[in-house]
């Protein structure tokens, strides 16, 4: 095994190598840096380190210079020689490569001064941007595996469970079930002399969610350490990490991490000489969102058809191969070592009365600063959207925020001061979910949003129970009609009835929560539905079939001089006119594709 770097460097360049930055050529940046550093003869003074996801995905590729916490963003290979020479050789940080908030004059050089990072509290993401995930020594150097040592040598299993209970940690996968309580149930279940199992649910299926991916890619040992502690607490000797197949980088980092942990005697037989045996196997998913549901996940591990089964009995009682099984989410496991190290008291001081600790969110959508954030429970939506997120781009108005992915709901702008915790989100009709947060502005059509999520759940429905299989299909058909201008008066009531019944009678969490986007949009944005149905119009102009495109002839002639760009691009020959004349849309031929609206540089094309 590679030994940890014992050499001391003057500067460490932490290059973000999370999947997003990688796809944005961050490895190219790394190579360019190393080449330039060698050229400048700095290879004994400056070390380039690739870390996991830094979080500020909007601004990748990213580089943080340590010591000093200097933050560089949106790097291109052509910037590197200048950067190396100026900052790393001559000591003059390069301002033009730093982050400049929109509408501000000067850039902010230090990471911790940037709004995006300021309000974040990193527990699950504690090693973010600071370690190379493929070097176990770096994890150990930052207190890694010390919680494990404490748990194995200084604590009894009951103590560990009580500590986690007292911390108030709740399942971060979406269920929000008190983790310590779950562990207690599992440890107390009878096994008939067989095994108990530990499972890490890394199937992260919500579209666009990447919290778990980032943790697995950036800091796999945090999860592994958590799992070993959990295993000791409940008395398991075998564990599984179920990772979705679409995360190859996470899988390869996990494989490496497990190897390294085994090499150090932190996994396998007689861990740390304590007499405790535990090992972990990786199981890959096969492309089904439903396998994030714990009973379907267990079926998948057992090699059976990936469909859920009714609960009770719960996995804590009857799980893998009918044995008591403790299933927790990636982020939940990542929190465990910190709780053991810093005590339940310290942890429970963060957050609200019912929701302790922090939560990782993937902040995406119509927001300036898209990325991965970890914030304390109780922070308001406003703080996330305006402070951390930097507000809505292009001066648009904030309309709603969708939390919890396809199982969650839309929270309207009027609730922007809502503090985030499990209960408050459920009260307004949404849910915490796994941490997806999609911000929407005035150009978002809420009916379309509902349709999007329903089409996802329809596609991913396993098909076992009638309400989910047929119900999501029925809801989708209705929503589709509405967005095409074929909505009927009865549709709103039918949608609501369907949604409520599906919520009541579906077999598993997927079906139970699939109607949430429909129900919340109906609750808060019923007027949009009615406009779609009665007036056959989409207020956000998203539902193309309902748009009417016209050309303001004055603007076209005076400003655009009849540039003819729209007619050239119209695939339906629905625009009349010639160069230097005012153009017009022939409504009967118009297929409402909106290309003319998109290409017109003079705003002459209007949409209603």
Size of the site for another protein (CB under 8 A): 31
Span interacting with another protein, options 23-31, 39-47, 498-506, 562-570, rule CB under 8 A: 498-506
Q: Is the peptide bond before 312 cis (omega within 30 degrees of 0)?
A: yes
Q: What is the Cα–Cα distance from 125 to 372, expressed in whole angstroms?
A: 10
CA 509 to chain CA centroid, nearest Å: 19
Cα dihedral: 72, 78, 82, 83 (round 10): 20
The answer to whether residues 237 and 231 touch, using CB atoms and an 8 Å cutoff, is: yes
Q: Which two tokens stand for residue 238?
A: 């075998």
Q: Which is nearer to another protein, 500 or 526 (CB)?
A: 500
- Count CB neighbours of 573 within 10 A: 10
Burial class (CB in 10 A: 0-12, 13-18, 19+), 395: exposed
Interface pick for another protein out of 21, 241, 267, 506 (rule CB under 8 A) = 506
Task: By CB under 8 A, tell whether 292 contacts another protein.
Answer: no
Minimum CB distance to another protein, residue 48 (Å)? 44
Minimum CB distance to another protein, residue 46 (Å)? 51
Q: What is the Cα–Cα distance from 433 to 422, expressed in whole angstroms?
A: 9
> What is the per-residue binding string for another protein in 420-459, x denoting contact by CB under 8 A?
--------------------------------------xx
Q: What is the Cα–Cα distance from 533 to 487, expressed in whole angstroms?
A: 5
Tell me which residue of 224, 157, 165 sits closest to 196, measured CA to CA.
157
Cβ burial 399-412 (10 Å sphere, 16+ → b, else e) = bbbbbbbbbbbbbb
Q: What is the Cα–Cα distance from 36 to 165, expressed in whole angstroms?
A: 52
If you compute the radius of gyration of the chain from its CA atoms, what whole number of angstroms results? 27
Minimum CB distance to another protein, residue 531 (Å)? 23
Site for another protein in 116-155 (CB under 8 A): none
Q: Which two tokens stand for residue 479?
A: 């929503």
Q: Which is nearer to another protein, 469 or 484 (CB)?
A: 469
401, containing H or E segment: strand 398-403
Minimum CB distance to another protein, residue 505 (Å)? 4
Interface pick for another protein out of 38, 349, 501, 548 (rule CB under 8 A) = 501
Task: By CB under 8 A, tell whether 66 contacts another protein.
Answer: no
Q: What is the Cα–Cα distance from 62 to 20, expressed in whole angstroms?
A: 10
Minimum CB distance to another protein, residue 208 (Å)? 20
Minimum CB distance to another protein, residue 297 (Å)? 15
Q: Which is nearer to another protein, 477 or 558 (CB)?
A: 477
Task: By CB under 8 A, tell whether 175 contacts another protein.
Answer: no
Task: By CB under 8 A, tell whether 498 contacts another protein.
Answer: yes
Interface pick for another protein out of 44, 497, 527, 530 (rule CB under 8 A) = 497
Minimum CB distance to another protein, residue 274 (Å)? 41
Which residue stretches of 435-465 are H helix? 446-460
- Laid out side by side, the sheet with 325-329 consists of 279-284, 238-243, 197-202, 325-329
Task: By CB under 8 A, tell whether 469 contacts another protein.
Answer: yes
Span interacting with another protein, options 237-245, 259-267, 407-415, 461-469, rule CB under 8 A: 461-469
Interface pick for another protein out of 83, 241, 288, 411 (rule CB under 8 A) = 288
Q: Which is nearer to another protein, 214 or 461 (CB)?
A: 461
Residue 221 neighbours by CB under 8 Å, 6+ apart? 133, 136, 139, 144, 145, 257, 261
> What is the per-residue binding string for another protein in 298-327, x denoting contact by CB under 8 A?
-------x-x--x-----------------
Task: By CB under 8 A, tell whether 465 contacts another protein.
Answer: yes
Task: By CB under 8 A, tell whether 562 contacts another protein.
Answer: no
Q: Which is nearer to another protein, 307 or 331 (CB)?
A: 307
Minimum CB distance to another protein, residue 212 (Å)? 22
Longest dimension (CA), the chain: 87
Minimum CB distance to another protein, residue 275 (Å)? 40
- Count CB neighbours of 546 within 10 A: 22
Which residue stretches of 415-515 are H helix? 422-427, 446-460, 466-483, 491-505, 509-513
Strand partners, 402: 410, 438
Q: How far apart are the first and last CA of the chain?
A: 65
> What is the per-residue binding string for another protein in 234-273, x denoting contact by CB under 8 A?
----------------------------------------
Task: By CB under 8 A, tell whether 477 contacts another protein.
Answer: yes
Task: By CB under 8 A, tell whether 500 contacts another protein.
Answer: yes
Interface pick for another protein out of 464, 537, 541, 544 (rule CB under 8 A) = 464
Interface pick for another protein out of 77, 85, 470, 486 (rule CB under 8 A) = 470
The answer to whether residues 543 and 607 touch, using CB atoms and an 8 Å cutoff, is: no
Contact positions toward another protein, by CB under 8 A? 288, 290, 305, 307, 310, 458-467, 469-474, 477, 494, 497-498, 500-501, 504-507
């Amino acid at each position: 095994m590679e030994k940890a770097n014992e050499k001391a460097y003057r500067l460490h360049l932490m290059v973000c190598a999370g999947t997003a930055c990688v796809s944005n050529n961050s490895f190219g940046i790394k190579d360019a840096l190393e080449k330039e550093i060698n050229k400048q003869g700095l290879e004994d003074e400056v070390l380039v380190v690739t870390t996991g996801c830094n979080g500020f995905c909007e601004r990748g590729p990213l580089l943080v210079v340590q010591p000093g916490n200097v933050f560089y963003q949106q790097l291109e290979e052509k910037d590197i020689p200048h950067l190396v020479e100026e900052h790393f050789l001559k000591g003059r940080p390069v301002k033009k490569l730093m982050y400049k908030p929109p509408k501000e004059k000067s850039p902010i050089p230090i990471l911790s001064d940037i709004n995006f990072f300021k309000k974040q509290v990193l527990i699950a993401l504690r090693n973010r941007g600071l370690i190379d995930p493929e070097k176990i020594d770096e994890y150990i150097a930052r207190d890694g595996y010390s919680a494990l040592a404490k748990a194995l040598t200084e604590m009894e299993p009951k103590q560990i469970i009580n500590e986690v209970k007292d911390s108030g940690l709740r399942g971060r996968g979406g269920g929000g079930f008190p983790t310590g309580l779950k562990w207690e149930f599992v440890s107390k279940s009878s096994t008939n002399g067989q095994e108990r199992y530990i499972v890490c649910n890394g199937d992260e299926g919500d579209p666009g969610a990447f919290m778990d991916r980032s943790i697995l890619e950036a800091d796999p040992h945090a999860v592994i350490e958590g799992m070993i502690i959990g295993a000791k607490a409940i008395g398991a000797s075998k564990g599984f990490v179920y990772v979705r197949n679409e995360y190859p980088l996470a899988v390869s980092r996990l494989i490496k991490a497990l190897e390294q942990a085994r090499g150090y005697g932190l996994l396998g037989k007689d861990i740390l000489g304590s007499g405790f045996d535990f090992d972990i196997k990786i199981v890959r998913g096969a492309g089904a969102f439903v396998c994030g549901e714990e009973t379907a996940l267990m079926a998948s591990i057992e090699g059976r058809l990936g469909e859920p089964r009714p609960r009770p009995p719960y996995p804590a009682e009857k799980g893998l191969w009918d044995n008591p099984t403790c299933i927790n989410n990636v982020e939940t496991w990542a929190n465990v070592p910190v709780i053991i190290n810093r005590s339940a008291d310290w942890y429970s001081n963060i957050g609200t009365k019912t929701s302790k600790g922090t939560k990782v969110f993937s902040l995406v959508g119509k927001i300036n600063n898209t990325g991965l954030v970890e914030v304390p429970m109780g922070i308001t939506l406003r703080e996330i959207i305006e402070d951390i997120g930097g507000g809505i781009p292009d001066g648009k108005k904030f309309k709603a925020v969708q939390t919890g992915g396809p199982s969650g709901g839309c929270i309207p702008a009027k609730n922007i001061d809502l503090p985030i915790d499990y209960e408050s989100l459920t009260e307004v009709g949404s849910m915490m979910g796994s941490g997806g947060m999609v911000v929407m502005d005035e150009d978002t059509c809420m009916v379309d949003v509902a349709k999007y999520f329903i089409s996802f759940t329809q596609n991913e429905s396993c098909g076992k129970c009638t309400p989910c299989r047929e119900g999501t299909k029925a809801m989708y058909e209705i929503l589709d009609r509405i967005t095409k201008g074929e909505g009927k008066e009865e549709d709103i009531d039918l949608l609501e009835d369907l949604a409520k019944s599906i919520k009541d009678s579906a077999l598993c969490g997927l079906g139970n929560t699939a109607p949430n986007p429909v129900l919340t949009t109906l609750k808060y944005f019923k007027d949009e539905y009615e406009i779609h149905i009665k007036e056959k119009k989409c207020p956000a102009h998203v539902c193309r079939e309902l748009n009417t495109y016209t050309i303001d002839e004055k603007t076209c002639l005076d400003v655009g001089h009849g540039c003819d760009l729209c007619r050239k691009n119209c695939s339906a020959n629905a625009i009349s006119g010639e160069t230097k004349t005012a153009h017009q849309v022939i409504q009967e031929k118009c297929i409402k594709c909106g290309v003319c609206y998109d290409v017109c540089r003079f705003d002459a094309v209007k949409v209603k």
